[in-house]
Structure 1
Amino acid sequence: MKKWVLSVAITVTLIGCTSSPQRANSNLPTGMVLLENVKQQQANIPYKKYQLANGLTVILHTDHSDPLVHVDVTYHVGSSREFAGRSGFAHLFEHMMFQGSQHVADEQHFKVITEAGGTLNGTTNTDRTNYFETVPSNQLEKMLWLESDRMGFFLPALTQEKFEVQRATVKNERAQRIDNRPYGRLNERFNQALYPQGHPYSWPVIGWPDDLERATLADVKHFFQRWYGPNNATLTIGGDFDEAQALAWVNQYFGEIPAGPKVSATPKVPVTLDKTRYLSMEDKIHLPLIYMGYPTVYAGHPDEAPLDLLAEIIGGGKTSLFYKNMVKEGVAVQASVSHPCQELACQFTLYALANPSQGGQLGKLETKINQSVAEFEQRGVTDEDLQKAKVQFKANTIYGMQSVKGKVSTLAANQTFYNNPNQTVKNLAQYDSVTKADVMRVFNTYIKDKPMVVMSVVPEGQKQLIAKVDNFVAPKPKVAEHAVDMEVSSKQTTSSFDRTIMPKAGATPVVKVPQLWRTTLSNGIKVIGTQSKETPTVELVIYLNGGHRLESVSQSGLANLTAAMLHESSQTRSSEAIANALEMLGSSINFGSQGSQSYIQVSSLSANLTQTLAILNEQLFTPAFNEQDFNRLKQQQLQSLQQSASDPNYIASTKFSQLLYGDASPYGVPSSGTLETVSALTLKDVKDFYQRQYRAGSAQIVAVSDLTQTQITTALDGLTKWQGDANAITPLMASKSAPSKVIYLYDKPGAAQSVISIGRKALPFDADGEYFKADLMNYPLGGAFNSRINLNLREDKGYTYGARSGFSGGDEVGRYTARASVRTDVTGASVKEFMKELQQFQSHGMTEKELDFMRNSISQAHALDYETPYQKAGFLRLLQRHQLTDNFIDTQQDIIDNITLAQLNQLAKKWLDIDKMIIFVVGDKKLVKQQLETLGYPVRIVN
């Protein structure tokens, strides 16, 4: 089901207590008015809404449960505010506004927040751009200083050099996320056909490359002045803070920024098609894909809710008609329906990935899709359809309130698009009131016999697989004569105080490490848990020692296939009946496998835990292991492997592991298996592995819930009948890496970028030994955004969208890896820069400033570690898996505080020797081989 905008309730109590606007309040800073005070009730996020004289909307949501704050600044500008032929400006500004402002130095934004122990990012879509950071609560004033400076004082720091670097970064992002990714260009091609030429959704958010090349510094300055004023922005603050103090800071830092030009709403013009449009595209893929779509309404339209439910009923999971008619029959590997909505328009989309073993003809899939839609029309909507969808909506609502970030993002989006932070209350009522007749009405209005867009994406050279011959060619994008729609002022903002002085942080907040409880079930299964009262939910994970390590190398992929089989039919019910039961509860059960463990993840509303665990027991103890299910899942796994082989990043990951550990080691073969190993697997292999892996003696449980220890252990009583000793895992044999001082090249013809991996075998995980200390050593080199490697390759050179390095360690082995996707034309230069940074850091180590930065950043980040149930569960699992003491964080902090520069630099000398590292590149041989040969190492081609 489409992820609706989430509110924070499951009942249908609709109104909080809202006060009238207070335009005269002596307790408020001058010029600030209180517009709303929405208190906590069962169907809302409590907040207070203010407005400054310059038009800035301010929303405050207090939550004192964790010592952190989340700050979000949302500007009502996305790609829809651009002109045809001048695309990509909004996304470009997402990058530009991290590059410093008049009183904040270059790269300082990332450094300040990272050193404060926070996280940050920005995102752009068709209709808005937002910037956000989560930091310890004592850092709030500093965040407001940073955000206000780039709102009011950005242009004086904007230079041609910064513009060119970020333009190159955006090009790299496009190459990495679109051009070098399977199906990456699907959406932009599809939207050209769905929307008329010149419609603001007819061009991609990231922009057309030619438009970015055409842009000038003057263009982007005008774009900023037009759209990034306080009257087109919403500042939302959530978390642990004092409201009066926060308002005073907001007024100080934002109040004197002048309003920008008046902003009017973009008209919502209905989108229509005169006939069904067919188009196709060849791509570097294995699985042919058909993607169909109808134009519908717009976000917030009364018909949005029933259209969402319609999409869920036709193609929303194992209980849908799409799954039954295509995935279950094996003609498709995946198939789904959704109804994504944007501010100006929504689209009803249907897609399926064809199974090449069944021919892969997209024309057949189009027929199957149309037959499924016709079957829906004949069958109609059932009471169960509606009830199931509404239960899921209410469950998703509760899961969405597990973090302050989630609540702040919801408030900000609702204010931006509906001028109502409390919009989710209205949404909840709308979805709850949808009737069967409503669903059939919107089907007849927007879908039945209506023209649509049908796009085929096929492997290169296989045009015979397309659904129908193309009858649509996208018109060449128009070039706008100008980049702004009005004259804007060139006057610079002045400040009444010295903004060059960065505010000091307040007193360091007390980190609230979860209070733990432990117990052992009567059959010996150890359980560790904590109570989290913020949401009435349960996150339960059962871990089983084994996973990929329990299977032989020749049977790689068996653990994954066995876990997939446990999602299927039981001895008493079909997989569809089980899925239906879980959906009616708003619960999910996920079986999976990783390198050294299999797992079972259970998410449930607390009130439904007993029924959810009854379904788990059915799946776990009485699987049917049907031959038909096995054949279908095996075929899906094989097709997935072949599809992955077209992804340069998958190739880089799997082939690099093979070079490090060899193909005779389980760590040198992917846990998903290979075509050879998965092809040889039988149903008997699955049954045998199930008996070996899914034993009580190998199991441990982590639980995070608002329920008490007694309530959880009582609910787990059904698992006490689980028996079996711990499984025996074959000891790991010694493995030999491929020779170093060689550059290994995997030829990927036509690759839009090269993927570079440089590294070596390293240390297994430890919490307070050499592995932990080595990770501290690497932090300023490649562990943060403003690390040496990323600043060099991304910010200084413009070679990549991002570059990182780091240690990763498991129970038995570990590795050190430096990695980036880079422009093809600078592949050799990028490897050279990697080598230079590693060699310099090994020779000279980190500086005293870098040591201070590492200490501050990692120490203060603990305030963010335990907020959500998922984070708490991860912390508990770390304790349980590695048998750590409850206060191991204190031990780590002592190391961080006292480790010396000499000790860290000695670790750099030991682990960063480039002559002991493997250099591996995935790229187009004819374009990069010669570049690599200039580096002085032999270049060896690998298959």
Structure 2
Amino acid sequence: MKKWILATAITAILVGCAGQQPQSSLPTGVTLLETVKVEESQVGIPYKKYLLSNGLTLILHQDSSDPLVHVDVTYHVGSAREVEGRSGFAHLFEHMMFQGSEHVGDEQHFKTVTEAGGTLNGTTNTDRTNYFETVPSNQLEKMLWLESDRMGFFLPALTEKKFEVQRETVKNERAQRIDNQPYGRMGELFNQAFYPQGHQYSWPVIGWPEDLERADVDDVKHFFQRWYGPNNATLTIGGDFDELQTLAWVNKYFGEIPSGPAVTADEKPLVTLDKTRYISMEDRVHLPLVRIGFPTVYARHQDEAALDLLSNILGGGKTSLFYKNLVKDGFAVQAGVSHPCQELACQFSMYALANPAKGGQLADLEKRMRESISEFEQRGVTDEDLQKVKVQFEASTIFGLQSVSGKVSTLAFNQTFSGNPDMISSDLKRYANVTKADVMRVFNRYIKDKPMVVMSVVPEGQRQLIAHEDNFIAPALNVSEVAVQGVTDYQQISSSFDRTSMPKVGASVELKSPEIWSGQLANGIEVSGTESEETPTVELVIYLNGGHRLIPVDKAGLAGLTASMLNESSQKRSAEALAQALEMLGSSVSFGASSYQSYIKVTSLTSHLDETLDIVRERLFEPGFKVADFERLKQQQLQSLQHMMSDPGYLANTAFDGLLYGNTNPLGVSSSGTLETVSSLTLADVKAFYQQQYSAGNAQIVAVGNLNESEILAELARFSTWKGEGTQLPDLTQLPELAGGTIYILDKPGAAQSVIKIGKRALAYDATGDFYKSYLMNYPLGGAFNSRINLNLREDKGYTYGARSYFSGGSELGVFVAQANVRSDVTSQALVEFFKEIKGYRQSGITDEELAFMKASVSQGKALDYETPYQKAGFLRLIQRFDLDANFTEQQTEITQSVTKTELNHLAKEQLDLDEMVVLIVGDKMTIEADIKALGYPVKTLEL
């Protein structure tokens, strides 16, 4: 399929062809509303739009490039449909809708989709909730059965117990994502000051904790009755399917569900502020942060596009005023401006993370942010400002069409909020038509001298750093007596067929692994590629074997710092000039480093690949290595390390690696380095590592795009003069002897959750050996949502938002890890359940049912592995890095189908011995230590 935007056709007239087809062949009650086709070299997504008699909107997009389908059901309900004092229902419902329905058993939704080889999830925001599955195309009818059953038959299966368990799960999610994260509560407190009391965006999507507590199961039932009818939903299906058969299925499963109460659009009065509001909070953070917000318009308002361009000029990357005035001069570690829009309101949002080395005073940062705004007024808008933002919008639109899920999401979004799936071309026109005068007009109307909200977030005990004393206190909530308004009586549906019978699966799909070519540059650099005709884009990665693994422990952090330097100035141009050149192309070039490799990621429109690779060559072969760049980046890395010390996930990963590998091995020290190692790094170290790492002998390239082998190799010929020998990895020092059975506690005072990691060193990567079989063995234990560990700790006990276990392997070593973030008050109980599940699985082994589930899920799931260019590039790299056979996935499928319980149970005995594992807990030692010691295991306190 080649439905493209020409890279230079920003101002082209892009229209679809709409028409009607005969209705006679359609199922009774299904009406075809429009057919949209897209001509060659035009933007858009071809689709057909239907309406069922009950009000359900159906959108079909056919794409046979991969044997899969993506099903999305979007309900026009988010937290904005809630009332004050009764928040959290929309998000709670996202969880509840996975708990089974009248004809689908408890936990069966996840199990059914996973066993079908699919993936699934749901998301909630202020304005909509969506549920989606991507599955092999022969599983489509089963997905429609599942989605229709929870739309029409959810309430009969709703119980008080399910409600209580999912309420606990939501509390755990809040603790993990908000309460236990640096700056986690900033957004919800900011919105209380930004929006008028009672505004639908003034409360958090996840809900206030006290609102969740006052909810009961009847409130949940009423919320479902009010908002989850077919007339408030859009069903969008994309992928490889038979159209007439799909229409018949949709009508069968959804057509008999009665409409819900009428739904009308909310009004969109513009948000205003009477004066500038200052608020502040203390948090367990290292970097003080100031955030400023101006109220503007709402999504797709006539001024939205111009405001987006204004935000990019002020704070969109290295060419922006914020970067120049705050980051480059070292006053801020990060700074930016954006203009996120929602259905009812937008925010013109600015932020800066202060550099404590410059004092960290947020009043000074606020002053500089205001001065940047004034500088824009004097500077005005340039032709380049307009062009680069339009190119970036165009490019992001194209990249969004690389997957079926991306296209389905776009169609569903546009239909839900505009009543028209075909909005891509009109959106492009909106941005293409913005003028300099438009940008200045919206600046004067919404930003210049206008009231704003200014929020300071400072480390605990350092209120002297806030920008200004608070002058606003959020009013107390007005708790509504009723949680839901406009509810009608529940209608019990009598189905016309037996819904208890799960649909049968269609004929097996034909797996389509990428057709791979391999070539070489004149200097011997290996290139692997595959052709992808989905979009006119190229994804290209240059890998350099080595990375952090090459670095002596006392210089940890050097690989990443060197990559950061290569993202800066060249000998010819400044970092800002290079960033501007890439922005004008709609391309991205990013140098980075990980444990075993450095890399250069290149994303480009095909028409601009030549110019983009010229920039890669300039940065790679002619780095500037300027002292000013080095000092700024080093300071940013140090401050980032200090910041990450407040992140419990980072603390857990760093400490756990140290336990497994020891502090004398690179694998036992974070690739970001430590405060001591990074502080000692010099520009000379960077230059020396550059010479060692960035040589042709270390390089391999993968390329995915709509160019053939000869065309890609011709573009890459500019790297044929690259020289240098490969670098051998130094030997690892002796690995520490693990104190198996020991529990280590790393204290994080006041933590809302405990991070638990249980594990040991394990097998190195092997695509077809015991490593792969261990992945299969672990699948029922902790590798799937409905695994033993997750069902126990999340669904049964309500201890966590999610728990899992996995094997991960590299070229030298591997690990087995079981992990979860759990409520602090159940830390010891969660450990007991972890131990019980791992021991029980090791002793009794996999069941026949689990074996069948694993084989079906893993085998069928391969249909989803190669859809996007990014996925294809990862597949190529795996073959390249580990020197695998091109057909290794076929060998894996054979192994999956033939592996026996005896083999898997033997591996479980071998790999899951708890006596060989260490346990790390990052949490509030004062509240968890006594209960943990009572378990009878050796307990030690760990210091980083």
Per-residue CA distance 1:809-867 (angstroms, 9 max, x = gap)? 00111100000000010000000100000000010111011000000000000100000
1:23-172 aligned at under 5 Å gives the runs 25-41=23-39, 42-172=42-172
CA distance in 2, matches of 1:469, 1:9: 52
CA offset at residue 938 of structure 1? 2.2
Contact 1:8 1:401 in 2 (8 A): no
1:240-279 aligned at under 5 Å gives the runs 240-279=240-279
% identical equivalent positions: 67
3-state SS, counterpart of residue 612 of structure 1: helix
Pair 1:467 & 2:462 matched = no
Report the counterpart of residue 503 of structure 2 in structure 1. 503
Report the counterpart of residue 583 of structure 2 in structure 1. 583
1:739-754 aligned at under 5 Å gives the runs 739-754=739-754
Structure 1 counterpart of 2:32, one-letter code: L
Contact 1:7 1:410 in 2 (8 A): no
More displaced 10-residue stretch of structure 1: 725-734 or 334-343: 725-734
Residues paired across the two proteins, number: 936
Per-residue CA distance 1:726-760 (angstroms, 9 max, x = gap)? 01221222301441221100110000100000000
1:785-804 aligned at under 5 Å gives the runs 785-804=785-804
* TM-score where L is the length of structure 1: 0.99
Contact 2:570 2:619 in 1 (8 A): yes
Gaps of 5+ in 1: 1-5
Assess, with a 3 A threshold, how the Cα gap between structure 1 residues 795 and 456 changes in structure 2: closer, same or farther: same
Report the counterpart of residue 701 of structure 1 in structure 2. 701
Structure 1 counterpart of 2:13, one-letter code: T
CA distance in 1, matches of 2:929, 2:737: 23
Contact 1:9 1:394 in 2 (8 A): no
Contact 1:782 1:789 in 2 (8 A): yes
Contact 2:225 2:487 in 1 (8 A): no
3-state SS, counterpart of residue 768 of structure 2: coil
Report the counterpart of residue 726 of structure 1 in structure 2. 726
Pair 1:282 & 2:258 matched = no
Report the counterpart of residue 807 of structure 2 in structure 1. 807
Report the counterpart of residue 851 of structure 1 in structure 2. 851
Report the counterpart of residue 356 of structure 2 in structure 1. 356
CA offset at residue 602 of structure 1? 0.5
CA offset at residue 13 of structure 1? 2.8
Contact 2:4 2:535 in 1 (8 A): no
Report the counterpart of residue 593 of structure 2 in structure 1. 593
1:680-699 aligned at under 5 Å gives the runs 680-699=680-699
Assess, with a 3 A threshold, how the Cα gap between structure 1 residues 619 and 449 changes in structure 2: closer, same or farther: same
3-state SS, counterpart of residue 651 of structure 2: helix
CA distance in 2, matches of 1:541, 1:414: 33
3-state SS, counterpart of residue 344 of structure 2: coil
CA distance in 2, matches of 1:9, 1:120: 33
CA distance in 2, matches of 1:423, 1:901: 52
CA offset at residue 7 of structure 1? 9.7
3-state SS, counterpart of residue 220 of structure 1: helix
CA offset at residue 426 of structure 1? 1.3
CA offset at residue 490 of structure 1? 2.4
CA offset at residue 486 of structure 1? 2.2
Report the counterpart of residue 443 of structure 2 in structure 1. 443
Contact 1:7 1:425 in 2 (8 A): no
CA offset at residue 564 of structure 1? 0.2
Structure 2 counterpart of 1:126, one-letter code: T
CA distance in 1, matches of 2:80, 2:28: 35
CA distance in 2, matches of 1:888, 1:294: 54
CA distance in 1, matches of 2:58, 2:375: 49
CA offset at residue 8 of structure 1? 6.5
Contact 1:759 1:817 in 2 (8 A): yes
CA offset at residue 616 of structure 1? 0.6
Structure 2 counterpart of 1:26, one-letter code: S
Contact 1:7 1:400 in 2 (8 A): no
Report the counterpart of residue 205 of structure 2 in structure 1. 205
Report the counterpart of residue 221 of structure 2 in structure 1. 221
Structure 1 counterpart of 2:170, one-letter code: V
Structure 2 counterpart of 1:219, one-letter code: D
Per-residue CA distance 1:542-584 (angstroms, 9 max, x = gap)? 1101000111111000000000000111111000000000110
Pair 1:517 & 2:514 matched = no
Report the counterpart of residue 232 of structure 1 in structure 2. 232
3-state SS, counterpart of residue 314 of structure 2: helix
Assess, with a 3 A threshold, how the Cα gap between structure 1 residues 671 and 381 changes in structure 2: closer, same or farther: same
Report the counterpart of residue 380 of structure 1 in structure 2. 380
Report the counterpart of residue 651 of structure 1 in structure 2. 651
Structure 2 counterpart of 1:830, one-letter code: A
CA distance in 2, matches of 1:218, 1:322: 50
CA distance in 2, matches of 1:501, 1:392: 49
Contact 1:276 1:452 in 2 (8 A): yes
CA offset at residue 654 of structure 1? 0.4
1:12-31 aligned at under 5 Å gives the runs 12-19=12-19, 25-31=23-29
CA distance in 1, matches of 2:479, 2:533: 55
CA distance in 2, matches of 1:257, 1:494: 9
CA distance in 1, matches of 2:4, 2:191: 30
Contact 1:654 1:670 in 2 (8 A): yes
Per-residue CA distance 1:682-731 (angstroms, 9 max, x = gap)? 00000000000000000000000101111111111110110000012212
CA offset at residue 935 of structure 1? 1.1
CA offset at residue 934 of structure 1? 1.5
3-state SS, counterpart of residue 503 of structure 1: coil
Report the counterpart of residue 484 of structure 1 in structure 2. 484
Contact 1:168 1:799 in 2 (8 A): yes
Pair 1:629 & 2:629 matched = yes
Assess, with a 3 A threshold, how the Cα gap between structure 1 residues 8 and 81 changes in structure 2: closer, same or farther: farther
Per-residue CA distance 1:658-682 (angstroms, 9 max, x = gap)? 0111111111100010001000000
Contact 1:537 1:605 in 2 (8 A): yes
Structure 2 counterpart of 1:684, one-letter code: A
Contact 1:70 1:132 in 2 (8 A): yes
Structure 2 counterpart of 1:304, one-letter code: E
1:563-574 aligned at under 5 Å gives the runs 563-574=563-574
CA distance in 1, matches of 2:901, 2:406: 39
CA offset at residue 9 of structure 1? 6.8
CA distance in 2, matches of 1:574, 1:43: 35
Contact 2:779 2:854 in 1 (8 A): yes
CA distance in 1, matches of 2:360, 2:718: 44
Contact 2:4 2:536 in 1 (8 A): no
3-state SS, counterpart of residue 922 of structure 1: strand
1:415-426 aligned at under 5 Å gives the runs 415-426=415-426
Assess, with a 3 A threshold, how the Cα gap between structure 1 residues 7 and 475 changes in structure 2: closer, same or farther: farther
CA offset at residue 425 of structure 1? 1.7
Report the counterpart of residue 3 of structure 1 in structure 2. none
3-state SS, counterpart of residue 603 of structure 1: strand
CA distance in 1, matches of 2:114, 2:478: 42
3-state SS, counterpart of residue 568 of structure 1: coil
Structure 2 counterpart of 1:416, one-letter code: T
Contact 2:279 2:472 in 1 (8 A): yes
Structure 1 counterpart of 2:33, one-letter code: L
CA distance in 2, matches of 1:653, 1:486: 49
Contact 1:7 1:397 in 2 (8 A): no
Structure 2 counterpart of 1:599, one-letter code: Y
Structure 1 counterpart of 2:923, one-letter code: G
Structure 1 counterpart of 2:774, one-letter code: A
3-state SS, counterpart of residue 721 of structure 1: coil
3-state SS, counterpart of residue 704 of structure 1: strand
Structure 1 counterpart of 2:148, one-letter code: S
Per-residue CA distance 1:58-91 (angstroms, 9 max, x = gap)? 0000000000000000000000000100000000
Contact 1:7 1:45 in 2 (8 A): no
CA distance in 2, matches of 1:638, 1:310: 32
